Structure 1
C-alpha cells in the first residue's frame, strides 16, 4: 500500500481526529453516557496505547497546540456565559458567590493537603494541582443537567458554579504556577509574598478582564442594535470580537481572557434590546466540535510511562478524597443559611466533574515546568486526567440514581405546559392535574388567567412566545407542550420554540382545518409540532364540543369495563385525548394514531356522556 506523504499524513490525522471526535459524541448520546468518557478513551487508544502511530499531536500541530487550546477554552466560556440568566440567581445567588470564592479556597486548600498525603509530592506541586482542580467541568455538567432535569435551584447553582468557577480556578492556578516557575531560578520561590501577589493578580484580572468583557459585549450590542452588521454576518462578527477580547485581555493580564469572554456572554445573555439566540446556536455547534477535538488531542499526547510511574493506591486515594471529603465540605460551608434543602445540598455535594479547562491548564503548566527543569511535574497531567476520568465516570454513572433517590430529579418529566388558559385549556389542565400530572397554563388574556386561578390551576400571565418565559417560571416536572391557542401560527411558533427545550417529539399543537392552504404551506411539517388528537380536532371543533356540554373526563379501564365498552357507552362523540399507563406515564394521542387502551390504564377523552 502506498505510504502517506507528509501533507497527506497531516490531513489524515486531522480527518481521523474529527471523525473520532464527532463519532464519539454521537455514540455517547446513543449510549446515554458522558461524551468525555468516550473521547478520552479514544484519545488514549489512538495516542499512547498505539505508540502515537495514529495521532501524534505535538509534531502535528507544533507550537500552535497550546495557543489553540487556550483560545478554544475561551470560546467555550463565551458560549457558557450566553446561557446564564440573572433571574436564576434570585434564590441561589449567595450560594454561587460562596462556591466561587470561599468554596474555591477550600477546594484548593483541601486538595493541596490531600495531594501531599496521598501522592507524596512536594508542597509546590501539591499547591498547583489543588489550584487546577478548583475548576469543575461545565462541558460535563450541562449535558448531565439536561438529562437529569433536577430542581430549578439545583440546576441553576450547578450551571452558574460550573461556568463562573473556571476563570477563578484558572487564574489561581496561573498565580501558583508563576510562583513555582520563578522559584526555579536562583532566588527560589517567594511563598511569603504569595498572598499579596495573588491579591494583585485577582485585582488586575477583574479590572482588565472586566473592561475587555464589557467593551466586547458593548461593541456587539451597539453594532447589532444599529444594524451595522448583516444578519448572516452577526455570528462571525461576534466570534471575531470574542477572540479579540480574549487575546487583548490575556496580553495585558495572563488568564484574564477567560473572565473577559465569560463576562461578554453573561452581558449579552441578559440584555433585552438585541437578539443573540442565533449566535448561541452557532456557538453550541462550534463548542461540540472544539470539545470533540480538544479531548482527543490532549489525551493522545500523553505517554504511558507517566501513568505507570504514578502510585496506584495514592492516586485512587486522592480521587476518593476529592469525591467524599473535599466536595461535600465545600458545598456544606457554601450553602450555610441558604434556602436549599438537605436533599438539594446532598446532590450538590455529589456533582463536581472536571473537564476541558482542567485538562488544558494541566497540560500547559506541566509542559512548561518540565522544560524549566522540574522533572516531577511530568506527573501533573496524568494525575489530572485520572481525576477527570474518575469524576466523569463516577458522577456520570451515579448522578441519575442519586438524584432520583434524593427526589431532586425527574429525567422523564410527564407534566405539560399548556398554551391557552381559555375554557378548553382550563378543562384539559384541570383533568390532568387531578390525575396527578403537573400543569402550567400560559395566556396573555387577564380574564382567562383570573378564571384559571379560581379553578386552582398554576398560570403564567404573558405570551407563550416570550423569551423570558423559560427563565421566569419553574418548569421542573414539565416535559411537554400542548399548544391550544386559536391561532395556528402562534401554535406552530410555540412548538418550534419549545422543541429546543423539550425536544421535537414532545411538542404538540392543535390541527389547522382552515381552507387557506397557503397558510398551512407556510408552516411545513418540519416547522410545527405534532398534531393533537385527530386531524379534525381544531380549536373551533373542540370549543364547540364544550359548548354542546360535552365533557373532558377520565375513564378507568378494567377487565370488566374495556375500551370497547367505553366506546359503546359514549358513542360516536368519543375523542381520545390522553392515555395514562399503569406505571403513571402520560401518552398524548396524536392525529392518525390508533389508540387501544387496555385494562389497568386510564383514558382521558371528550365525549357527550
Structure 2
C-alpha cells in the first residue's frame, strides 16, 4: 500500500496526463480517467489511504467548486433562444426521468420502492464534470450547446435536492408525514440556496468593486467565499450547498459591475485539476465484484436509461419548442452521469446501509453505489464515443472549425477574407469603421460593425464555423486586447495578431523580451504599416499550388522578398496560418496563399498560372 503522499501525487499526475492524452488524440478524457482510476484502485484503496469520512468531505467541496465554475459559464442571454426548452428540461424532463428511472429501477434492480425512488432522483443529474469535457470534444453549434450546458449545470443541484427529499421521506410513516417533510425541506432548501448563494455573490461583487482585495488575493478569497457558502448552506439544510454555489456562480457571472475574466481563468484551471483527481479517486473505490453482483438487471436498467428514459424525457420537455428535430435527437443522446451522482449516491448509501429502517432497504443500499458507477462508466463511454459522430451526421457540430474571425476590415483584411472565402472557408470581419464595413459587405463578406472590445458584442457573436482569430487592425493595443479577450474562446494556439515594430526588441529594465499576447502573423516585418504599404503599391494575394517541378525553393527563388506567405492549405483542405517564427518548409501538394508585390517578371506569372491550373 503506497503512502498518502505517493498516492495523491499519482492521482494528480494521472488526472492531468489523462486529460492531455485525450486532448492530443481526440477522445473523451473522462473515459480514460475512469479506466486509469479503476486500475489504480486495484493497487491502492483510497478509503484506506485517505479515509472514508475525509474523502467524502473533499469530494463534496470539490464538487462545489466545479458547480460554481459551471455557474460562471452560464449567461442569461443564452436563454433568449432556448430559455423555454431549458426550463422544461430541468422541470418536466427531470420529473419524467425520475418517474421512469424509479419504475425501471424497482422492476430490474431494487427490492424496495423507496430506494428505487432515491436512485431515480440521483440519475436525473448529469453535471459539468462530464458535460463540459464532452462539449469541448463534440463542439456543437451554439443552440444545442447552450441547452446541454444549462441543463447539465442547473439540473445537478435540482437532482441532488430531489434525492435529499426522497431520502428524508424513507423513514417517514405514512403519506401525511412524508408530505410535511417534503414541504419543509423544499422551503428550507430554497431559502438557504437563494440567501447564501445570492448573498455570497453580492459580497464578492462588493469587495471587488470597492477594491478591498488586492489582485493577488482575489481568486483565493473568492474560493473561500464559495467553500464557506457551500458549507453554511449545507448546515442550514442538508445538501442545499450545491444549489447555493450554483446560484452564486450564475449571479456573479451575470452582474455588470465588475469583470470576472481573471476569476474564470483561475476557476477553470482548478476545475480541470479537480475533475481529473475526483474521477481517478472515485473510480478507484469501485470493486469488480460489486458490479458483477448487479447481474443482467443492472445492464437492462442502463439500456432503458439510454434508449427509453432519456429520449422520453427530452421529447416531453421539448415538444413545441424552437429546437429542430436534429437538435432534439442530439440532446436526447447526451446525458452522461458524473461526479455529483457518484458523490450523492455514496453519501446516501453509507447512511442507509448503517441506519436503514429495514433489512430490505439496507440490502438495496449496497446496490446503489455499484449501479451508479456502472451508469457513469457506461453512459460516459457510450455518449463519449458516439455523440460527436452523431452530431456531425445530424449537422449540429463542426468537424474541425477552419474559419477565421478577422478583426479589422481594411483593404488588406478584405483581400485576405476574399481569398479565404473563395476556397470555402468561413470568414467573419469586425470593424468599428463604417466605411470599411460597407466596403466589406459590398464584397460579399460577412461583416459586423462594432468595437471588438465591447463585452456585449463579444457575447452576441455567432462563432459557428470559426476556429481562429486574426487581429489585424492598425492599433497594436486593440490587437493585443482582442487577442486576450478571445484566448478563452479559441485557446492560445488559435489566436494571432500582427507583429509590432518592437516585437523583437528587449524591454529595458524588465529582464526579458516584450512578448506578444498572441502568435505573430506571417513574418517578423509584416506589420500593419508594411502590409498596407505593399497593398497600396499594387501587391496582390495569389494562390500557388506547389508541385514536384515547382516546389517551395523554386517559389522563393522567383519571388524572393517580394512574397509573404500568409496561409498554407494542405491536401486535405486544412488551413494553416503562417507565423513569424514558422521555419517549416511547405511541400508539394500544398497550396500557398501569399501577398506578392507588383511588377513581377512575366515568367513568374506564367508559372503561377500553370500552378493554379494544376490545382
Q: Same fold (TM over 0.5)?
A: yes
Give, in angstroms, the shift of residue 569 of structure 1: 8.2
CA distance in 1, matches of 2:592, 2:521: 18
Contact 2:128 2:149 in 1 (8 A): yes
- Single out whichever of 256-265 and 469-478 deviates more from structure 2: 469-478
Give, in angstroms, the shift of residue 445 of structure 1: 2.4
Q: Which residue of 2 is the match for residue 340 of structure 1?
A: 323
- Single out whichever of 222-231 and 275-284 deviates more from structure 2: 275-284
Q: Report the CA distance shift for 1:241/1:564 in structure 2 as closer, same or farther (over 3 A).
A: closer
CA distance in 2, matches of 1:286, 1:249: 22
- Single out whichever of 320-329 and 547-556 deviates more from structure 2: 547-556
1:531 aligns with one of 513, 517, 520? 520
CA distance in 1, matches of 2:209, 2:64: 25
CA distance in 1, matches of 2:502, 2:59: 55
Q: Report the CA distance shift for 1:561/1:290 in structure 2 as closer, same or farther (over 3 A).
A: closer
Q: Report the CA distance shift for 1:589/1:36 in structure 2 as closer, same or farther (over 3 A).
A: closer
Give, in angstroms, the shift of residue 476 of structure 1: 1.7
CA distance in 2, matches of 1:75, 1:596: 46
Q: Report the CA distance shift for 1:13/1:395 in structure 2 as closer, same or farther (over 3 A).
A: same
Q: Which residue of 1 is the match for residue 106 of structure 2?
A: 116
Q: Which residue of 1 is the match for residue 501 of structure 2?
A: 513
Q: Report the CA distance shift for 1:384/1:191 in structure 2 as closer, same or farther (over 3 A).
A: farther
Matched, 1:293 2:277: yes
2:117 aligns with one of 127, 143, 163? 127
Q: Which residue of 2 is the match for residue 66 of structure 1?
A: 56
Q: Which residue of 2 is the match for residue 486 of structure 1?
A: 474
1:151 aligns with one of 118, 128, 141? 141
Give, in angstroms, the shift of residue 91 of structure 1: 0.7
Give, in angstroms, the shift of residue 343 of structure 1: 1.6
Q: Report the CA distance shift for 1:338/1:451 in structure 2 as closer, same or farther (over 3 A).
A: farther
- Single out whichever of 287-296 and 472-481 deviates more from structure 2: 287-296
Q: Report the CA distance shift for 1:267/1:56 in structure 2 as closer, same or farther (over 3 A).
A: closer
- Single out whichever of 397-406 and 557-566 deviates more from structure 2: 557-566
Contact 1:492 1:509 in 2 (8 A): yes
Q: Which residue of 1 is the match for residue 186 of structure 2?
A: 202
CA distance in 2, matches of 1:376, 1:486: 68
2:266 aligns with one of 282, 290, 294? 282
- Single out whichever of 398-407 and 35-44 deviates more from structure 2: 35-44
Q: Report the CA distance shift for 1:603/1:448 in structure 2 as closer, same or farther (over 3 A).
A: closer
CA distance in 1, matches of 2:503, 2:59: 56
Give, in angstroms, the shift of residue 418 of structure 1: 0.5
Matched, 1:29 2:23: yes
Contact 1:496 1:527 in 2 (8 A): no
Contact 2:31 2:384 in 1 (8 A): no
Q: Which residue of 1 is the match for residue 612 of structure 2?
A: none
CA distance in 2, matches of 1:331, 1:371: 37
Q: The residue matched to 2:406 in structure 1 has which SS?
A: strand
Q: Report the CA distance shift for 1:20/1:561 in structure 2 as closer, same or farther (over 3 A).
A: closer
- Single out whichever of 324-333 and 457-466 deviates more from structure 2: 457-466
Q: Which residue of 2 is the match for residue 413 of structure 1?
A: 401
Give, in angstroms, the shift of residue 228 of structure 1: 0.8
Q: Which residue of 2 is the match for residue 466 of structure 1?
A: 454
CA distance in 2, matches of 1:265, 1:544: 49
Equivalent residues in 2 for 1:158-177 (5 A)?
A: 158-177=148-167
Contact 1:17 1:297 in 2 (8 A): yes
Q: Which residue of 2 is the match for residue 388 of structure 1?
A: 376
CA distance in 1, matches of 2:329, 2:368: 30
Contact 1:58 1:301 in 2 (8 A): no
Q: Report the CA distance shift for 1:483/1:519 in structure 2 as closer, same or farther (over 3 A).
A: farther
Contact 1:331 1:349 in 2 (8 A): yes
CA distance in 1, matches of 2:433, 2:381: 49
Contact 1:444 1:461 in 2 (8 A): yes
Give, in angstroms, the shift of residue 387 of structure 1: 0.3
CA distance in 1, matches of 2:16, 2:556: 50
Q: Deviations over 1:16-68 (max 9, x none)?
A: 43344344444443443333323333333333x34xxx234256334333233
- Single out whichever of 336-345 and 398-407 deviates more from structure 2: 336-345
Q: The residue matched to 1:513 in structure 2 has which SS?
A: coil
Q: Report the CA distance shift for 1:549/1:293 in structure 2 as closer, same or farther (over 3 A).
A: closer
Matched, 1:227 2:211: yes
Q: Which residue of 1 is the match for residue 532 of structure 2?
A: 543
Contact 1:172 1:198 in 2 (8 A): no
Structure 1: which 5+ residue stretches go unaligned? none
Contact 2:505 2:514 in 1 (8 A): no
Q: Report the CA distance shift for 1:240/1:490 in structure 2 as closer, same or farther (over 3 A).
A: same
Contact 1:578 1:605 in 2 (8 A): no
Q: Report the CA distance shift for 1:478/1:111 in structure 2 as closer, same or farther (over 3 A).
A: same
CA distance in 2, matches of 1:511, 1:13: 46
Q: Report the CA distance shift for 1:487/1:371 in structure 2 as closer, same or farther (over 3 A).
A: same
Give, in angstroms, the shift of residue 363 of structure 1: 0.4
Structure 2: which 5+ residue stretches go unaligned? 357-361, 601-615
Q: Which residue of 1 is the match for residue 365 of structure 2?
A: 377
Q: Which residue of 1 is the match for residue 293 of structure 2?
A: 309
Q: CA RMSD in A?
A: 2.8
Q: Deviations over 1:208-256 (max 9, x none)?
A: 2011111100001011100111111111111121122212222222222
Contact 1:43 1:296 in 2 (8 A): yes
Say how many residue pairs are matched. Answer: 592
- Single out whichever of 294-303 and 396-405 deviates more from structure 2: 294-303
Give, in angstroms, the shift of residue 452 of structure 1: 2.3
1:39 aligns with one of 33, 36, 61? 33
Q: Report the CA distance shift for 1:370/1:58 in structure 2 as closer, same or farther (over 3 A).
A: farther
Q: Which residue of 1 is the match for residue 65 of structure 2?
A: 75
CA distance in 2, matches of 1:605, 1:521: 37
1:430 aligns with one of 418, 421, 424? 418
Give, in angstroms, the shift of residue 145 of structure 1: 1.4
Q: Report the CA distance shift for 1:452/1:202 in structure 2 as closer, same or farther (over 3 A).
A: farther
CA distance in 1, matches of 2:400, 2:527: 28
